[in-house]
């Protein structure tokens, strides 16, 4: 299959899997189906990017991050919140290692990184002060540090797609911020729509950029 056709099929298949997940909210399905439907879109991204990036020379970290994220999706839908945090922290760590391999910060990227650190510190402090569980607070603090580091490593990449990766990372932070705000601060109307739409956009963008680099 040619690279252009592969990318088109990749996008169509991902949209179809997201559509199945959306439909699972509107039709009667077995209890196992919605966790399955939620897990499949990002698991598919992992499998497709693994196929494109597995050269045998090194561990393909972006596909690994997507795989860990899909397991985090499953944990979240099974209400295993701390497992969800742990799996996504592992996924972001894989992203960090993948991005930092080609670290070459510029003046502009340092400025953006400083803004991200400040924003994460302010928003994170506000949310953490409203978490009743000490254990969850510790997990959330560690997670905030890791996801902020992921965004910074995306900004610091020496890549033609540096700012697209950075945008995807920021959208990811927005998605996770919605989860935390909805859980600890105040109910967000249509929270699932905000959380999952931005999450899928972020993961798809990262996967698609990875393919653009591997298949060019």
Q: Is the pLDDT of residue 132 over 80?
A: yes
pLDDT at 46: 96
CA atoms within 13 A on the CB side of 92: 26
- Classify residue 116 by burial, with Cβ atoms within 10 Å: 0-12, 13-18, 19+: buried
Can you read off the two tokens belonging to residue 78? 């099974």
Can you read off the two tokens belonging to residue 43? 């698991």
Q: Compute the distance between CA of residue 40 and CA of residue 192 in angstroms, rounded to an integer.
A: 17
Indicate the Cα dihedral angle 190, 80, 74, 214, nearest 10°.
100
Confidence of residue 53 (pLDDT cuts 50, 70, 90): low
Q: Phi and psi (nearest 5°) for 131?
A: -90, 120
Q: CA nearest 177: which of 204, 151, 195? A: 195
The mean of the pLDDT values for the chain is: 92
Q: Compute the distance between CA of residue 190 and CA of residue 175 in angstroms, rounded to an integer.
A: 13
Q: CA nearest 63: which of 74, 76, 73, 53? A: 53
Assessment of whether the complete model's pTM goes beyond 0.75:
yes
pLDDT at 29: 80
């Amino acid at each position: 299959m040619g690279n252009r056709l592969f990318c088109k099929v990749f996008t169509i298949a991902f949209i179809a899997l997201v559509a199945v997940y959306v439909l699972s909210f509107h039709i009667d399905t077995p209890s196992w189906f919605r966790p399955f439907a939620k897990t499949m879109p990002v698991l598919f991204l992992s499998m497709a990017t693994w196929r494109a990036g597995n050269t045998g020379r090194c561990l393909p970290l972006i596909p690994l991050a997507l795989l860990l994220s899909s397991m985090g999706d499953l944990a979240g839908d099974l209400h295993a919140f701390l497992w969800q945090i742990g799996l996504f922290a592992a996924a972001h760590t894989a992203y960090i290692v993948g991005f930092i391999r080609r670290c070459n910060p510029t003046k502009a990227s340092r400025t953006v990184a400083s803004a991200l650190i400040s924003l994460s510190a302010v928003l994170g402090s506000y949310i953490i002060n409203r978490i009743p569980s000490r254990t969850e607070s510790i997990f959330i603090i560690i997670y905030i540090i890791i996801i902020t580091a992921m965004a910074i490593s995306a900004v610091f990449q020496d890549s033609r797609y540096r700012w697209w990766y950075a945008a995807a990372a920021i959208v990811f932070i927005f998605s996770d911020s919605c989860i935390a705000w909805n859980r600890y601060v105040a109910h967000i109307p249509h929270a699932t729509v905000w959380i999952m739409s931005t999450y899928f956009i972020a993961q798809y963008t990262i996967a698609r950029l990875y393919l653009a680099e591997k298949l060019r």
